[in-house]
Structure 1
Amino acid sequence: MKIYFAGPMFAQADLRYNEYLVEKIRALDHSIHVYLPQENGAINDKTAYADSQMIALADTQKVLESDLLVAVLDGAVIDAGVASEIGVAYAKNIPMIGLYTDTRQQGADNHKKLTALNNTAENQFHYLNLYTVGLLKLNGSITTDEQSFLSLIQDQLN
């Protein structure tokens, strides 16, 4: 199975988290081949040069070759590249699994947090772009923890 890993990749924390998750995915089964864009030095060695078209062509080709796209949705907003990769996968009907671990999503049944939504600038929940989320959900699902994320990937192998 070919998996495309879409995730933010410009901060050291992002790079390390991506590596950590991909290691766990690869350990699920020897038949899994994960494309992690940050491992593609031809376009993502930030000390070298790759223009926008080189990046777009290389990553789009890998999305189109994949059997599954997995995406990390965490961050202040969904990373622009991740959103683009989700759009390509949706257009080609490639199954997707999203991982969204933002802790602000907790407490949806807390009356005080819900009431606070009526007060200007007191939203205690995190917002994700609904268009991007909708595309992902139309071709897959979103989970909130790593174990469920890995289990959903494992299910795709069967």
Structure 2
Amino acid sequence: MKIYFAGPMFAKADLLYNDYLVKNIRALDDKIEVYLPQENGAINDKTAYADSKMIALADTERVLESDLLVAVLDGAVIDPGVASEIGVAYAKNIPMVGLYTDTRQQGADNQKKLDALSDTAENQFHYLNLYTVGLLKLNGTVATDEQTFLSLIEEHLKK
């Protein structure tokens, strides 16, 4: 199975988290081939040069070759590159699994947090772009923790 890993990749923390997740995905089965864009030095060695067309062609080709796209949705907003990759996967009907671990989603049954939604600028929850999330959900699902994320990937292996 070919998996495309879509995740933010410009902060050291992002790179380390991506690497951690991909190691766990690869450990699920020897038949898994994960494309992690940060490992593609031809376009992502930031000391070298790759123009926008080189990056778009390289990553889009890999999305289109994939049997599954997995995406990290965490951050202040969904990473723009991740959103684009989700759009390409949706357009080609490639199944997807998202990971959204933002802790601000906890307490959805807390009445004080719910009441705060009517108080301007007191939203206790985090917002994700609904268009991008909708594209992902139309071809897959979103997990809120790493174990569920890995289990959903395993389910795709069985198909």
Taking structure 2 as the reference length, what is the TM-score of the superposition? 0.99
Residue 102 of structure 1 and its aligned partner are, at CA, apart by: 0.1
Q: Deviations over 1:48-98 (max 9, x none)?
A: 000000000000000000000000000000000000000000000000000
Partners of 2:39 and 2:47 lie apart in 1 by 14
Q: How much identity, in percent, do the aligned residues show?
A: 84
> Which residue number corresponds to residue 86 of structure 2?
86
Q: Which residue identity is paired with 2:128?
A: L
> How many Å separate the matches in 1 of 2:28 and 2:134?
28
CA distance in 1 between counterparts of 2:151 and 2:3 reads 14
Q: Which runs of 5+ in 2 are unaligned?
A: none
One-letter amino acid of the counterpart of residue 130, structure 2: L
Question: Secondary structure of 1:28's match?
Answer: coil
Residue 133 (structure 1) shift = 0.2
Partner of 2:62: 62
SS at match of 1:34: strand
Partner of 1:155: 155
Partner of 2:35: 35
Query: Which position in structure 1 is the counterpart of 2:102?
Result: 102
SS of the equivalent of 1:142 reads strand
1:144 aligns with 2:144: yes
Query: How many angstroms apart in 1 are the aligned matches of 2:23 and 2:118?
Result: 43
SS in 2 for 1:157: helix
Moved over 2 A (4+): none
In 2, distance between residues paired with 1:132 and 1:87? 7
Number of aligned positions between the proteins = 158
The one-letter amino acid paired with 2:116 is A
